[in-house]
Structure 1
Amino acid sequence: MRHWLLPLAFLATPLHAQEVDLELVLLADASGSIDQAEIDFQRQGYAQAITHPDVLYAISSTLTGSIAVTYVEWAANQAVVVDWTVIANPQDAEAFAANLLVPPRLASGRNAIGAALLEGKRLIEENSITGLRRVIDFSGDSANNWSGPSIVEARDQVVAAGITINALPILRDGVSEVSGENLIELYTDRVIGGPGAFIVAAESGASFTAAVRRKLILEIAGSPPAVIPTSAP
């Protein structure tokens, strides 16, 4: 059996009732339509975005000067890739980014979007962090839901718990590469919800990292408009 050696930063000690401005669950698509190269590309995109000076400035400008983030891949199952990490300075962000690139693929199979949203809710409610705001950021390339609770039922449970859901649909030529559906409309109707909920659409490829960075800045700052086009500066 192959054993993976993780950096010491990955094996973080529990966080004890630490107050941050934002608790953020990054739910990244790892379903069957996402191959290993795309898994790596998504992780690299988030690693580059979380360490970008504009994102770090947004974090430093919050009320507490800090946020807490966890990165979770979802498919038929959900798997935590990087556990809750408080980011208050560039060193924290660099550690999070480095840890994100280490583990092997941890989720696979067909879509269970409803279950993924409820797992995000559980991760927020069971951690020992106090966030002034609580957000699940869901990304995906389709709106299929092959098992588990329905997307809408799960969304409504999350929102009822005081958690906002934002979304990042991954598109090709403006639609889902998997099904050809308009994911912006579907995610607006079925996925996002809560105060200030919004969508940032990302075309697969070079614009992905820029879209992730815009999304993070808006989530950290709060109160964005409803839909952010891929061409936004």
Structure 2
Amino acid sequence: MSRTLLSRRLILAAGLAAPALIAARSAHATEEVDVELVLAVDVSRSVDAQEMEMQMTGYAAAFRDPRLAEGIAGGPLGAIAVTLFVWSDWNIQHTLVPWMRLDGAASCARFAAAVEGASRETYLYTSISGAIDYAARQFGTRYSGLRQVVDISGDGVNNSGRPLAVAREEALGKGIVLNGLAVLDQTPQPSALLAGIPPVDEYYRDQVIGGPGAFLMVAEGYDAFAGAVRRKIIREIATAPGPLVEREYA
């Protein structure tokens, strides 16, 4: 085959491949939003069926709060993107509600309905590090947020997967903000106290949250979860800083 003929074939092949390449890039193009918010929900064995239901109905109620839609409208772009996944062991993270763009009351209501219709799951261990790693991989896949925030809710310390400090440091190095929602056990087990395990609110404050404007919401038991998550998400879409730790009582 002559060099001239080979060159012509290569040019033709490149021309045919170009539209496919452009289409592939377009499929991965991201849309700008004010905030990419990842909701990471603890479903380890310390969360029973009733508490799991309280968590999910709490998230759904938060997105139906008219103050949330008002807060979104007040952002520079007037839109945020949200996804929700549940987590437990180091290798168990399941996305229950994929990324959705929220720009008003109607889209917020659709997200709430998706949360209500999601499966209810419970597993064993508590891998906050695994949850952070999984959450970090969700950013930039469909949207490009001016801020990237992970909202981690849980009621225990890291006991599965790689060291929490390593996962946390890597996420913070990417500019991700880690906020926490710590649910306090109203009747702590004596074994936890004897083992020297710190109160979950102190643990989340000192070892989980981080990044510009990061904060911790503390729910005094699952009865207080709905109020805590509502206030937390409204604050997360706002830019005004607040106290490092806030508490919600039932």
TM-score between the two structures when normalised by the length of structure 2: 0.80
Corresponding residue for residue 168 of structure 1: 181
Given that residues 117 and 158 in structure 1 are in contact (C-alpha distance below 8 angstroms), is that contact kept between their aligned partners in structure 2? yes
Q: Distance in 1 between matches of 2:61 and 2:133?
A: 27
Would the alpha carbon gap of residues 176 and 15 (structure 1) be closer, same or farther in structure 2, given more than 3 Å must change? farther
Instruction: Tell me whether 1:156 sits opposite 2:173 in the alignment.
Output: no
The 1-side partners of 2:124 and 2:70 are apart by 37
User: Shift of residue 15 of structure 1?
Assistant: 8.2
- 1:207 aligns to what SS in structure 2? helix
**Secondary structure at the residue paired with 2:40?**
strand
Q: Equivalent residue for 1:130?
A: 144
Identical-residue share of aligned pairs (%): 37
Aligned-partner SS, 2:107: helix
Q: 1:91 aligns with which of 73, 82, 106?
A: 106
Equivalent of 2:135, from 120, 133, 158? Answer: 120
Q: Find the residue that maps to 2:149 and give its secondary structure.
A: strand
Poorly superposed stretches of 4+, deviation over 3 Å: 172-181
Whole-angstrom distance in 2 between the partners of 1:20 and 1:152? 29
Would the aligned equivalents of 2:178 and 2:210 in 1 still touch at CA under 8 Å?
A: yes
Would the alpha carbon gap of residues 167 and 124 (structure 1) be closer, same or farther in structure 2, given more than 3 Å must change? same
Q: Which residue of 1 aligns with 2:157?
A: 143
1:182 is aligned to: 199
Aligned to 1:228: 246
Q: CA deviation at 1:178?
A: 9.3
- In structure 2, runs of 5+ residues without a counterpart are 1-26
**Map of 1:54 onto structure 2:** 67
Residue pair 1:141, 1:178 contacting (<8 A) in 2 also = no
CA contact (8 A) 2:71 2:238 kept: yes
Contact 1:170–1:201 (CA<8 Å) still a contact in 2?
Answer: yes
Q: Secondary structure at the match of 1:48?
A: helix
The structure with the larger Rg is 2
Aligned residues: 216
1:154-209 deviations in Å (ceiling 9; x for gaps): 11010001100000000134979994642221111110111111001012243211
Higher helix fraction (1 or 2) = 2
Q: Distance in 1 between matches of 2:189 and 2:171?
A: 25
Matching residue of 1:32: 45
Does structure 2 conserve the Cα–Cα contact (< 8 Å) formed by 1:138 and 1:168?
yes
RMSD: 2.1
